[in-house]
Structure 1
Amino acid sequence: MATPSDEMNTKLTWRRFEDGENKWDSFTDKIFNEDTSHKCPTYVHKTPPCQGSCPSGEDIRGWLAVVRGQEKPVGDMAMGEYAFRRSTEANPFPSMMGRVCPAPCQDGCNRNEVEDFVGINAVEQWIGDNALSNGYKFEVGPTSGKKVAIIGGGPAGMAAAYQLRRKGHASTVFESQAELGGMMRYGIPNYRIPRDKLAGEIQRILDMGDIDVRTNTRVGKDVTVEELEKDFDAILWAVGCWTGRGLPVAGWENTPNCVSGVAFLKAFNEGRMKVTASKVVCVGGGDTSIDVVSVARRLGHIEQTNPTDRPELVVNDGFVAHDTAVTAAAQGAEVTLTSLFPKSNMTAAEHEVHDALHEGVTILDEVMPVEVILGDDGRATGLKIAQCQMVDGRPTPVEGTEQVLEADLIVSAIGQGGDLGGLEVLDNGRGLINADSFYQVPDREKHFVAGDIIRPHLLTTAIGQASVASDSIDEYLQHKEHKKRPKVDVHHFDLDKKLEEAGLAPDHFDAIERGDMRGTSSGNWAVHNYEDRSFAEVIPHDELFLGHFAYTPRIARKEEVPSADDVLGHFHERLIGLDETQAAEEAKRCMSCGMCFECDNCVIFCPQDAVYRVNKKEATTGRYVATDYARCIGCHICSDVCPTGYIKMGLGE
């Protein structure tokens, strides 16, 4: 969680040392005594916690360095295009994820120890929107002749199609709905995900070529598993979770005006549901429940003289739709959200909870549903709730605290499950599909899986799983053993690749041809005094010199959040993105944890002039400074003043 705003100006938390360790040792002692350690600086690359927290595994520090202007594009490529290409190595949806990802990267950001996290989502949105505005396309090569069936055209399925095509493999995407996008299209409202930008990011993937699409096609019904096994070299199951869990209370089952959050949002996003009920109660606490109540406030209700206008008929039927004309008579809806947990502990993003309250939603926290109250006609008239407490990890109602919330529509947004009708051979008994550590379906050759159907989670999680599954499929198609995944399994900065990109790759080294190995440190056969631990370690804040960083407020995106009086019919996009200048300034707040960001502290403070800048013609990201070990005495001042924790006194151990 970010530092509260009222503490940002008064309670900086950058102290490097614990109490009692706040004084520098004598520089004289360092210079004349510390050299007995025989340790000199090594430049050690580690993974920053933003990347370690990102389920997609994006090289966040890398593309922030590009946007801030520190890492330069090669040739005449524009900064925005270079940032786009770096960010989409992991995630082909920067415009979408910059808007709706709940940003665990920002929770993990070490900048929280200074004042406030870096606005990673905001910069990513700028990268994505700028790429769409400029028409940037993905670059691809020839295909391998192999073809993969991808079942599901949501974030996991489309991310897999993208990653597989980058590896040279063609695919066919089977989608049961009329359009691609999955939960990005059918589960998230358009004022959070603009449909033109979603369409643009999907089309950019299809424009790579050799990606066929079959919509309105349900595998298990229209196409059999056996046909897929016969016609394709591999199969990826990315079917998502389209069934919502009902409330586990008396009166819920078979009550017509009790619906799931998934079905409610799908009916709205398909354009079929134009109005909702007069009194809506939603049970949840996560992002889906926030979307439900926010949509309900925007839709409002009409005085229903015609029973066919009831919203549950539109939600449950799948074919019935409201006439657009009914919206003209819409009035505000009374909307209540109930949550087991306090508002501060709800799983929904904090700003989403704040926005819902501003829009006029009533949130009752630390309560649980007890019973659906039914009328004589079998429809729900209310939901009985009670205050709750956790007993042995389970919510338990507090006796004597019951109350009834009047309701014309009750929505359950407490979780989702899979619909594996026709695919029972894959069902693990819980409506989901099992996966091993390589995202292969156990004991089923050529079958792989990614996304919510493994376990419902975030969009970014599905995209990250698709990337790993694509690696596994690529290895399978090439008849290779699966490589052991690294401990920190993300898209890492690759110094060798960067040197090659800049035309600075080390010379070829042949040990037999070289003969005598002594004195090779002066040659250009390797990257000297550099160690890559990014695959094994995430760098914590206490390895940084946080005193280097001054208080710099975050450049927050503006939001157009309607008030309770203005929310009815308000479907404009809420987020107002940063412009290029703002994005660059916000990116400069990144502390570049675990990677040199060229501050010159080590060069300035070295008492022996042992640390020096690499010649500009030979320098690149990660190779800005080097050490003359003939001069270094091991005083470790350079390590003490390194803001990013990139310098470690390890050489000589």
Structure 2
Amino acid sequence: MSASSEEMNQKLTFRRYKDGDHKEGAWQEKIFQASWTHKCPEYVLSTPPCQGSCPAGEDIRGYLDIVRGMEKPPKDSNWQTYAFQRITQANPFPSVMGRVCPAPCESGCNRNQVDDFVGINSVEHFVGDYAIANKLTLPQAGASTGKKVALIGGGPASMSAAYQLRLKGHACTIFDDHAMLGGMMRYGIPGFRTPRDVLDAEIQRILDLGVEVKLNTRIGVDVTLAQLEKEYDAVFLGMGAQSGRMLPVPGFDAANCVNAMAFLRAFNDGRLQHVGKRVVVIGGGDTSIDVATVARRLGNITVATEKDRPEHIIAGQVAHDVAAVSAREGAEVVLVSRAAIDKMNANKHEIEQALAEGIEIIGAVTPIAVIKGADGRATALRVAEFEVVKGETIIKAGTEKDIPADLIVSAIGQAVDFTGFDGFDNGKGLITANKNYEVPNKKGYFVGGDVIRPHLLTTAIGHGSIAAESIDIYLKGEEQGKRPKIDVHHWDLVRKLVETEHAPADFKAVDKAIIIKEETFAKEIDLGVRGSDSAKFAVHNFEDRSDKYVIPSNELFLGHFPFVPRNQREHITLNAEQALGHFEERLMKLDDKQVVAEAKRCMSCGLCFECDNCVVYCPQTAVFKVKRTDSTTGRYVDTDYGKCIGCHICADVCPTGYIKMGMGD
């Protein structure tokens, strides 16, 4: 029987059943057949590995897309301001972190599979400095809830938590035993890596939200935890791990053997003006590099009295400063590490800079003793080659050697000072926390930063952000929920639709409905949710997997991306003579054109970046651009399922992995 002209002119559509069928057959056998599939494309938002690797949880892809010009700022803003706003949703210290974070995001960047990682830190550095220069502010504090939170410690964890809590309307008071805020950002990192005017500007933005500060206030001396429990509704413990660990070898009790935290604090306080002629640093991480480079810059003075010895200054004793009137010479600085040089934990670039400045690094040896002179002061550090057998260090006989030293600095780790915090030590010198950063069995107490595990400044910022959410839930009297698998700040399509005046409409039930009435209940079947692909009450053809899935490089079409050299920041490299007395910043920022060019290297993993591949290569013209009036980030293309034959070419040529063959499952 021939078809009528009317039937011939009807739009062809895919049908799951043939006429007369009422049961689905072996569907799994029909999924893939050569060049086509019963599945059709859908748009799936995933988390990029840079973002999944960021301890602060920044929406990195989001602000790179803003800088490159793909995601447009609101009409009353520019891309620099909009990018700053996106970064500071997670991290209120972009200028500081853009300089000092070792950037695990860059190590995880999928662009490494093409040529070289995207310079994420350099973009953050530029945006942070732009914000300071143009006096950009953080969002206003939320309406007051009447709740008060005490935050102990003035470092990145507490500052991050205070910032997020003020946005939620909670009053915050920071207690710190230092004269200034900043924690390890100020007292653990030298000023030539973290310029103090930059740090002060980013701290002040948080204080401007109405954060109260009580400095030079020590818990257990000036105020007790019991007092805080009475006056505040919740307490956040973010005091950090600012006590250094002493080297556990015989002789390290000598007066001129100190720990790295005391050394750096004395320097950053402005008290330490010089070191001895020969300085030995034990470590291998970033802190040991900081100590070594500081010692190289301070150098030695030719005329000094007993009181001028650096160990007295580090210990807090008042000494006569003869540095200004005496000849200054370069100190001989040796860094000793148990790890081989190429296996050290310190930033590789910082290691290269230290070597260029004349610092000697000896790897793959372990300290075994401090050699003392007749006066009881250390004269050398004895080291030896070793091997580890079943977790035990075995010294290789005959490999011992002495490294002369006037000052020995231990940079082998940090410890928490629990004075005034009875009952919080978990037996390992730290504080235990659950996934919500609550302290178990301590109602109303939350924690973040190095007191949980000494790590990066960005890690502490991330802890503070998550803890603030948990504190907010606690203050509302609600139960803590399960944290997402990928616990970072995610790009939000619905937020973008609202911002661009494309928000989904309210759902309204249709007038026609079928009412099924039985003896005990009535049920309404709303016909309005059937065939709703063109309805405006939902975001169609889209799935958000970003809270549980990080997209790997093998799900991208890497062939789309040509080799593009990275725009690298200039780093002033000093030699041994130039390093002496040089306390200026060495890391220069990119200019605006370089920053935009670098952001364009981002592959926007897991989110459409509007390349048109899917539109160009679709043989059925089923994939099409959304009308300009309806288009926005993440909603640039759509699919006509009446035309789609499931050939999956669009998914194959999608550079970012945003298109998945999922519709029809």
TM more than 0.5? yes
CA distance in 2, matches of 1:128, 1:343: 33
1:323 Cα deviation after fit: 2.3
In the other structure, the counterpart of 1:520 is 532
1:470 Cα deviation after fit: 0.4
CA distance in 2, matches of 1:571, 1:251: 33
Could you list the per-position Cα deviations for residues 595-638 of structure 1 after superposition, in whole angstroms to 9, with x for gaps in the alignment?
A: 10011100000001000111111111111111000000000000
In the other structure, the counterpart of 1:264 is 263
1:255 Cα deviation after fit: 1.1
Matched position secondary structure for 1:425: coil
1:448 Cα deviation after fit: 0.6
Structure 1 residues 321 and 384, CA, compared in 2 at 3 Å: closer, same or farther?
same
In the other structure, the counterpart of 2:585 is 573
- Please show how residues 286-301 of structure 1 align to structure 2 within 5 Å: 286-301=285-300
- Please show how residues 455-470 of structure 1 align to structure 2 within 5 Å: 455-470=453-468
Structure 1 residues 586 and 642, CA, compared in 2 at 3 Å: closer, same or farther?
same
Structure 1 residues 632 and 150, CA, compared in 2 at 3 Å: closer, same or farther?
same
Structure 1 residues 158 and 321, CA, compared in 2 at 3 Å: closer, same or farther?
farther
- Please show how residues 70-469 of structure 1 align to structure 2 within 5 Å: 70-140=70-140, 141-209=142-210, 211-252=211-252, 254-316=253-315, 318-320=316-318, 323=321, 325-326=323-324, 328-469=326-467
Question: Is the counterpart of residue 539 in structure 1 residue 537 in structure 2?
Answer: no
In the other structure, the counterpart of 1:563 is 575
1:561 Cα deviation after fit: 2.1
| Letter in structure 2 aligned against 1:440 | E
> Equivalent of 1:506, from 489, 504, 507?
504
| Letter in structure 2 aligned against 1:556 | Q
Structure 1 residues 332 and 35, CA, compared in 2 at 3 Å: closer, same or farther?
closer
Q: Is the 1:281–1:338 contact (alpha carbons within 8 Å) kept by the matching residues of 2?
A: yes
Q: Is the 1:275–1:326 contact (alpha carbons within 8 Å) kept by the matching residues of 2?
A: no
Matched position secondary structure for 2:403: strand
> Equivalent of 2:659, from 625, 644, 647?
647
Q: Is the 1:304–1:310 contact (alpha carbons within 8 Å) kept by the matching residues of 2?
A: no
Could you list the per-position Cα deviations for residues 304-343 of structure 1 after superposition, in whole angstroms to 9, with x for gaps in the alignment?
A: 5410110011112x24255274375211100000111112
Structure 1 alignment gaps of length 5 or more: 1-31
1:36 Cα deviation after fit: 5.5
1:545 Cα deviation after fit: 0.5
| TM-score of the aligned structures, taking structure 1 as reference length | 0.93
Question: Is the counterpart of residue 553 in structure 1 residue 565 in structure 2?
Answer: yes
Matched position secondary structure for 2:75: coil
In the other structure, the counterpart of 2:520 is none
| Letter in structure 1 aligned against 2:463 | Q
In the other structure, the counterpart of 2:69 is 69
1:431 Cα deviation after fit: 2.6
Q: Is the 1:340–1:395 contact (alpha carbons within 8 Å) kept by the matching residues of 2?
A: no
Matched position secondary structure for 1:566: helix
Bigger shift: 349-358 or 510-519?
Answer: 510-519
| Letter in structure 1 aligned against 2:443 | E
In the other structure, the counterpart of 1:16 is none
Q: Is the 2:240–2:451 contact (alpha carbons within 8 Å) kept by the matching residues of 1?
A: yes
1:44 Cα deviation after fit: 0.6
| Letter in structure 2 aligned against 1:235 | V
Structure 1 residues 595 and 303, CA, compared in 2 at 3 Å: closer, same or farther?
same
Overall identity of the aligned pairs, in %: 58
Q: Is the 1:282–1:292 contact (alpha carbons within 8 Å) kept by the matching residues of 2?
A: yes
Aligned length: 620
RMSD, aligned α-carbons? 1.5
- Please show how residues 487-506 of structure 1 align to structure 2 within 5 Å: 487-506=485-504
Matched position secondary structure for 1:431: coil
| Letter in structure 1 aligned against 2:424 | L
1:513 Cα deviation after fit: 6.2
1:51 Cα deviation after fit: 0.6
Could you list the per-position Cα deviations for residues 264-320 of structure 1 after superposition, in whole angstroms to 9, with x for gaps in the alignment?
A: 01000000001011000000000000000000000001135410110011112x242
Q: Is the 2:307–2:319 contact (alpha carbons within 8 Å) kept by the matching residues of 1?
A: no
Q: Is the 1:40–1:649 contact (alpha carbons within 8 Å) kept by the matching residues of 2?
A: yes
CA distance in 2, matches of 1:606, 1:70: 23
Matched position secondary structure for 1:213: strand
In the other structure, the counterpart of 1:611 is 623
1:232 Cα deviation after fit: 0.3
Structure 1 residues 512 and 342, CA, compared in 2 at 3 Å: closer, same or farther?
farther
Query: Which has the higher Rg, Structure 1 or Structure 2?
Result: 2
CA distance in 1, matches of 2:645, 2:452: 54
